[in-house]
Structure 1
């Protein structure tokens, strides 16, 4: 039997989420976190965001080359 005691339920509902998992799963997570650390998310700069928007616009217009075409063009210039 598992007994969980929560002292202040108002805090959990307002700003926090409570997730109950088995202790073994939590210990595995802690071991993984110790080995790998937190994985940082890629945050693009403003210029990278503009370049991505431009690339998406060109793609939607059909202004792109396939990988095979690019490879053929690069090989032909050798």
Structure 2
């Protein structure tokens, strides 16, 4: 794990700005991103807190959620075919 040492000036009311490259790397460049603040042994530890892990964020995109809603509607209305194996599936696709 590479460590990057950066000094940040604490502004009025305790506001700090995390450098853009670090925010991008840790997925904190989106509005509403959260950072966990931990006080430990005289240090302040900032840890990215992602409600949805980065490798699963695609599932929660608006486009993917729209596709999920369309699939749910197709299933509910009976516009799906259920196959009991690859041969039956291939037969359905050929017909």
TM-score range, shorter chain: 0.3 to 0.5
Using the size of structure 1 for normalisation, the TM-score is 0.36
Rg: which structure is higher? Answer: 1
Using the size of structure 2 for normalisation, the TM-score is 0.31
Higher relative contact order (CA 8 A, sep 6+): 2
Higher strand share: 2
